[in-house]
C-alpha cells in the first residue's frame, strides 16, 4: 500500500498534522491547499505540491479531503475541475471534513457512477488528537472501501470504526457534536461556579476531572478557560456549522433537541460578537 500515491487536500489545523502522519508512515503524499504556504512544511518533508485539485486527483490513487464546510467539499469534489471528474476509475476518495450526511450519500452515489469509491470519515479528538495521531475516525461507506482505507486511517487515529453505509460517518459525527454542545455549556457553568464559590478552579479540576464529570472538554478545554487562552483548536465558526447541520438533520427526523438549540444560540452569539475564529473554549466569556 505504501507504494500508492495519497493526495491530501486541505492543510489547515487538522490536515497539516494528518497529512504529516501519512507521509511519516512512508506513503507518497501529494498535497494541495487553497493557501499554498500552508503546504511548505510538508513539502520540505518530502510531500509533492500539486497546482490544482484536478492535478492532484489525476495523479493520486487515494484522495483525502479535510476542508472546512460542506460548500468547500462540494467545490473540491464536483464539476469539471473537481475530484470526481479527474480521478481514475478504481480510485478511492475519503472526505474527512465534518460535513452534511446527505451530501456524503450523494457523493458516494456520484462516485459509484464512475467506479470511484467514496468514504465519509470525519474525526474527533481535536487538534491535539490530530497532532498525536490519536483521532477517533468514524467511517461511512462500503466495507471493501473501508478495508482499503484502513492502513491510511491507522497512521492518523487509534479508534477507527466502520459505522455502515455512506453518510453514517457524518451522522456519527453529528451525534458526537450534539454530545459536546451541551457538555461545553456544563463545563463553563461548572468552572464559573467554582470561581464564584471562592475555590481555586485548577484544584477543582484535579478532583472533578477524574470523577463522574470527567470529559475531554472538561480536561482539555477547562484549563484553557481558566487561563483565558482562546486560541483555536477548534474554531467557533466550525462548531456553529456543525450544530447547524445537526439541527437540520434532527429536524428532518422530527426530533426535538433543546440542549443543542441552546448551545447553538450561545455560540452564534459569540460568532456575532466577532469570535468565530477563536477556539470553542472562548464560550466561557459568556459565563465569567
Ligand atoms: P482549517 O484550519 O480552516 O482548515 C481547512 C483547510 O481547508 C484550510 O487550510 C483551507 O484553506 C482548506 N480549504 C478550504 N476549502 C478549500 C478548497 N476549496 N480548496 C483547497 N483547500 C481548501 O480547519 P480545521 O480546524 O483543520 O478543520 C477542518 C475540518 O475538520 C472542519 O470541517 C472542522 O469542522 C473539522 N474538525 C476540526 C477539528 C478541530 O479541532 N480543529 C476537530 C474535528 C473536526 P485556506 O488555508 O486557504 O483557508
pLDDT in tens, 40-56: 999 999 999 999 999 99
What mean pLDDT is reported for the chain?
A: 97
- Are 267 and 283 in contact by the 8 Å Cβ rule? The answer is yes
Nearest ligand 1 atom to alpha carbon 99: 32
> 3-state class of 134 per DSSP?
coil
Q: For 233-285, how does the pLDDT look when each residue is reduced to its tens digit (9 = 90+)?
A: 999 999 999 999 999 999 999 999 999 999 999 999 999 999 999 999 999 99
Cα–Cα distance measured from residue 37 to residue 152, given in angstroms and rounded to the nearest whole number: 25
pLDDT of residue 34: 98
pLDDT of residue 150: 98
Q: For residue 160, give every residue at least 6 positions away whose Cβ sits within 8 Å of its Cβ, in sequence order, or none.
A: 136, 137, 139, 150, 153, 154
> Could you tell me if the CB of 121 is within 6 A of ligand 1?
no
Question: Can 224 be counted among the known catalytic residues?
Answer: no
Q: For 71-101, how does the pLDDT look when each residue is reduced to its tens digit (9 = 90+)?
A: 999 999 999 999 999 999 999 999 999 999 9
Q: For 163-176, how does the pLDDT look when each residue is reduced to its tens digit (9 = 90+)?
A: 999 999 999 999 99
> Could you tell me if the CB of 18 is within 6 A of ligand 1?
no
Q: For 181-200, how does the pLDDT look when each residue is reduced to its tens digit (9 = 90+)?
A: 999 999 999 999 999 999 99
- Bond into 118 cis (ω within 30): no
Name the nearest CA neighbour of 5 among 78, 187, 115, 19.
19
CATH of domain 5-166: 3.40.50.720
Q: Domain residues of the chain, as ranges?
A: 5-166, 171-286
Cα(86) to ligand 1 centroid in Å equals 22
> Could you tell me if the CB of 239 is within 6 A of ligand 1?
no
> Could you tell me if the CB of 72 is within 6 A of ligand 1?
yes
pLDDT of residue 1: 64
pTM value > 0.75: yes
Count, residues in the chain:
288
Nearest ligand 1 atom to alpha carbon 38: 46
Cα(15) to ligand 1 centroid in Å equals 7
Q: Is the pLDDT of residue 288 over 90?
A: no
Choosing among 3.40.50.2300, 1.10.1040.10, 1.20.120.10, 2.60.120.10, the CATH entry for 171-286 is: 1.10.1040.10
Q: Is the pLDDT of residue 134 over 70?
A: yes
Q: For 113-122, how does the pLDDT look when each residue is reduced to its tens digit (9 = 90+)?
A: 999 999 999 9
Mean pLDDT of 215-229: 98
Task: Please report, rounded to a whole number, the percentage of residues in the chain having pLDDT higher than 70.
Answer: 100
Cα(134) to ligand 1 centroid in Å equals 18
> In the structure grid, which three cell numbers stand for residue 49, read together?
505540491
Task: Please report which confidence band the pLDDT of residue 2 belongs to, taking 50, 70 and 90 as the band edges.
Answer: confident
Mean pLDDT of 2-29: 96
Q: What is the DSSP string of 18-47?
A: HHHHHHHTT-EEEEE-SSGGGGHHHHHTT-
Q: Is the pLDDT of residue 138 over 90?
A: yes
User: Residue 256, Cβ neighbours under 10 Å: how many?
Assistant: 9
Amino acid at each position: 500500500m505504501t507504494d500508492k500515491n495519497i493526495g491530501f487536500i486541505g492543510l489547515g489545523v487538522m490536515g497539516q498534522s494528518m497529512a504529516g502522519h501519512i507521509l511519516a508512515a512512508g506513503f507518497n503524499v501529494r498535497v494541495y491547499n487553497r493557501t499554498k504556504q500552508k503546504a511548505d512544511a510538508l513539502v520540505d518533508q518530502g510531500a509533492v505540491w500539486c497546482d490544482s485539485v484536478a492535478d492532484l486527483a489525476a495523479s493520486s490513487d487515494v484522495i483525502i479531503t479535510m476542508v472546512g464546510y460542506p460548500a468547500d467539499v462540494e467545490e473540491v469534489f464536483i464539476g469539471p475541475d473537481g475530484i470526481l471528474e479527474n480521478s481514475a476509475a478504481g480510485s478511492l476518495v475519503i472526505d474527512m471534513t465534518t460535513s452534511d450526511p446527505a451530501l456524503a450519500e450523494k457523493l458516494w452515489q456520484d462516485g459509484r457512477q464512475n467506479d470511484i469509491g467514496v468514504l465519509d470519515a470525519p474525526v474527533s479528538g481535536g487538534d491535539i488528537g490530530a497532532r498525536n495521531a490519536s483521532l477517533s475516525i468514524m467511517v461511512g461507506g462500503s466495507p471493501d472501501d473501508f478495508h482499503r482505507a484502513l492502513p491510511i486511517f491507522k497512521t492518523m487515529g487509534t479508534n477507527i470504526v466502520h459505522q455502515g453505509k455512506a453518510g453514517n460517518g457524518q451522522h456519527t459525527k453529528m451525534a458526537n457534536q450534539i454530545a459536546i454542545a451541551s457538555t461545553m455549556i456544563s463545563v463553563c457553568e461548572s468552572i464559573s461556579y467554582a470561581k464564584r464559590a471562592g475555590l481555586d478552579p485548577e484544584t477543582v479540576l484535579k478532583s472533578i476531572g477524574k470523577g463522574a464529570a470527567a470529559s475531554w472538554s472538561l480536561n482539555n478545554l477547562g484549563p484553557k478557560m481558566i487561563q483565558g487562552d482562546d486560541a483555536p483548536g477548534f474554531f467557533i465558526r466550525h462548531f456553529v456549522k456543525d450544530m447547524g447541520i445537526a439541527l437540520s438533520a434532527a429536524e428532518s427526523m422530527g426530533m426535538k433537541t433543546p440542549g443543542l438549540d441552546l448551545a447553538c444560540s450561545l455560540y452564534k452569539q459569540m460568532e456575532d460578537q466577532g469570535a468565530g475564529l477563536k477556539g470553542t473554549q472562548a464560550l466561557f466569556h459568556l459565563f465569567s
